[in-house]
């Protein structure tokens, strides 16, 4: 079985126009050739819509903010690369020798871009319903437990669950200081248990500083 | 003719499920009611895909970077608000008395969000092809000359050239306020000449708000 047939079997989709598949799998390191950047531009929007609609229907009680968080946790380089690895996209990519020697077939950015391009290509030749079917299948295979908890579980929540269970107290966060100009502020926060400081951390927002505090506290407590 | 019929005539689309239209037009200031935030979440992705695909086909020679720039110039608060004003969305919005007294029917953020929700609602009940037809029509009516030049013309540069030449002074930009959650921030900027405010505008980034300021200033000065 040749490579292209093998890949289409993994993808569970057979391209009508094989050139479109080739375009989707061609990295820009191949010069003087059409590459997958335009298809990726399109596919990025297709994936956003597919996942957005999926979450919209799946989580009818969730507000916009939660849906956005959920989508961000599914549509990002790491998550898409995970799917791309399952599809063995790296093996089927067209790239330059230099990029190949540079580990291009394993780069999350490269393979996640190719996955988006692939979905863009399927959308172009077969429409949104087919693209939806293919991508949701991949999504559910790779993320069998899609829920707000599993996907956006954060350190603050984990820390709170831990301290509530162990000492019956929720952590508190305090702003220690902020500095820097408006466009580049830095916040230093502390996390306290029963009024006693456990850890300090800085971040570019209070939220990110709190998360960093919680992570430090978890490392200390565990 | 009642309001709903009038609006649907402007939109050139008749809703099968009138509740979906009402949801799309309900601002979150109306408490204890379904509001348009979830539909806006969906519609935002629908609009991105529609415009992305439109540009993908229209500018076959353009690279991904140019397509992204073009889309950003069409899909932003100001451009969507322009379309929303043509549709008179402000008149048909459901909002609280407080928000109404606060000028809610004229706020670019409110009416552009409602427009996205509306496209999301049309997508939900009639699919991508209908949503595409409706939105591309609106796009072409409001931006008859879609091209890289016309759309990404840098108003800040034009304004600076004008003011330097006429009064020997460069415009300055000031952040007035920012609001909204991290993933959906809105910035209000002002443009000043010799310390005197010429115009204000909002945008989803400081840059886009500055561009909108510069455009307003150009309209005033010219």
Cβ contacts of A27 on chain B, cutoff 8 Å:
none
The neighbour count for residue A158, using CB atoms within 10 Å, is: 15
pLDDT of A57 > 90? The answer is: yes
Among A37, A44, A53, select the one facing B42 at the smallest CB separation: A53
Average per-residue pLDDT in chain A? 90
Mean pLDDT, to the nearest integer, of A209-215? 84
B68 close contact with A: CB closer than 8 A: yes
Nearest to A114 by CA among A9, A29, A53, A6: A29
Residues A207 and A114 in one domain: no
| Residue A206, domain CATH | 3.30.160.20
Cβ contacts of A24 on chain B, cutoff 8 Å:
none
Please name the residues in contact with B173: beta carbons below 8 A apart, sequence gap of 6 or more: B189, B190, B191, B192, B206, B210, B213
pLDDT of A151 > 60? The answer is: no
Nearest to A97 by CA among A30, A178, A48: A30
B56 close contact with A: CB closer than 8 A: yes
Contact B63 A205 (CB under 8 A): no
Residues A20 and A107 in one domain: yes
User: CA B180 to CA B186: how far, in whole Å?
Assistant: 6
For the segment A58-115, what is each residue's pLDDT rounded down to a tens digit? 999 899 988 998 898 899 998 999 999 999 999 999 999 999 999 999 999 999 999 9
Residues A201 and A133 in one domain: no
Contact B49 A49 (CB under 8 A): yes
Residues B129 and B202 in one domain: no
Cβ contacts of A37 on chain B, cutoff 8 Å:
63-64
CB A113 within 8 A of CB A41: no
B48 is catalytic: no
**Number of CB pairs, chain A paired with chain B, less than 8 A apart:** 63
Residue B126, pLDDT score? 97
Of A118, A149, A180, which residue sits at a domain end? Answer: A149
Cβ contacts of A67 on chain B, cutoff 8 Å:
38, 41
Interface test with B, best of A24, A41, A59 (most B CBs within 10 A): A41
Residues A139 and A162 in one domain: no
Residues B139 and B90 in one domain: yes
Mean pLDDT, to the nearest integer, of A113-127? 98
Among B40, B128, B206, select the one facing A64 at the smallest CB separation: B40
pLDDT of A124 > 90? The answer is: yes
Percent of chain A with pLDDT over 90: 64
Contact A53 B45 (CB under 8 A): yes
Of A149, A180, A213, which residue sits at a domain end? Answer: A149
Residue B205, pLDDT score? 86
Q: Which domain holds residue B97?
A: 3-146
Both tokens assigned to B117: 């929700």
Contact B38 A63 (CB under 8 A): yes
Q: Which residues of chain B have pLDDT under 70?
A: 1, 147-153, 222
pLDDT of A50 > 90? The answer is: yes
| Residue B37, domain CATH | 1.10.1520.10
Residues A133 and A107 in one domain: yes
Of B111, B146, B181, which residue sits at a domain end? Answer: B146
- Our CA angle for A59, A65, A71, nearest 5°, is 65
Total number of domains in chain B: 2
Residues B187 and B107 in one domain: no
pLDDT of A138 > 90? The answer is: yes
ipTM above 0.85, yes or no: no
Among B42, B49, B206, select the one facing A45 at the smallest CB separation: B49
Residue A181, pLDDT score? 80
Cβ contacts of A128 on chain B, cutoff 8 Å:
127-128
Interface test with B, best of A28, A45, A205 (most B CBs within 10 A): A45
Residue B221, pLDDT score? 79
- A window 127-156, beta carbon within 8 A of B: 127-128
Q: Pairing relation of β-strands A196-203 and B172-179? A: unpaired
For the segment A7-22, what is each residue's pLDDT rounded down to a tens digit? 999 999 999 999 999 9
Residue B128, pLDDT score? 97
Residue indicated by tokens 């000031």: B174
Among B41, B52, B181, select the one facing A52 at the smallest CB separation: B41
Residues A97 and A166 in one domain: no
Residue A153, pLDDT score? 57
Q: Is the dihedral of CA A46, A50, A51, A55 positive or negative?
A: positive
Please name the residues in contact with B217: beta carbons below 8 A apart, sequence gap of 6 or more: B159, B171, B191, B193, B198, B199
Residue A47, pLDDT score? 98
Residue B1, pLDDT score? 57
Residues A162 and A89 in one domain: no
Name the residue of chain B whose CA is nearest to A46's CA.
Answer: B49
pLDDT of A133 > 80? The answer is: yes
Per-residue H/E/C for chain A:
CCHHHHHHHHHCCCCCCHHHHHHHCECCCCCCCCCCHHHHHHHHHHHHHHHHHHHHHHCCCCCHHHHHHHHHHHCCHHHHHHHHHHCCHHHHCECCHHHHHCCHHHCHHHHHHHHHHHHHHHHHHHHHHHHHHHHHHHHHHHCCCCCHHHHHCCHHHHHHHHHHHHHCCCCEEEEEEEECCHHHCEEEEEEEECCEEEEEEEECCHHHHHHHHHHHHHHHHC
């Amino acid at each position: 079985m040749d490579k292209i047939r093998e890949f289409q079997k993994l993808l569970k989709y057979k391209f009508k126009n094989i050139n479109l598949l080739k375009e989707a799998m061609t990295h820009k390191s191949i010069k003087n050739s059409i590459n997958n950047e335009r298809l990726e531009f399109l596919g990025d929007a297709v994936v956003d819509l597919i996942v957005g609609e999926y979450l919209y229907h799946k989580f009818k009680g969730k507000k916009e903010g939660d849906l956005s968080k959920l989508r961000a946790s599914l549509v990002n380089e790491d998550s898409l690369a995970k799917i791309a690895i399952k599809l063995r996209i790296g093996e089927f990519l067209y790239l330059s020798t230099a990029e190949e020697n540079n580990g291009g077939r394993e780069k999350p950015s490269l393979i996640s871009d190719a996955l988006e391009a692939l979905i863009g290509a399927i959308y172009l030749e077969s429409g949104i319903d087919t693209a939806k079917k293919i991508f949701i299948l991949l999504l559910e295979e790779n993320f069998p437990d899609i829920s707000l908890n599993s996907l956006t579980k954060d350190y603050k929540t984990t820390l709170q669950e831990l301290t509530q269970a162990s000492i019956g107290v929720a952590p508190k966060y305090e702003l220690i200081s902020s500095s820097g100009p408006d466009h580049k502020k830095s916040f230093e926060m502390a996390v306290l248990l029963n009024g006693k400081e456990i850890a300090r951390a800085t971040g570019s927002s209070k939220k990110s500083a709190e998360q960093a505090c919680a992570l430090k506290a978890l490392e200390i407590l565990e």
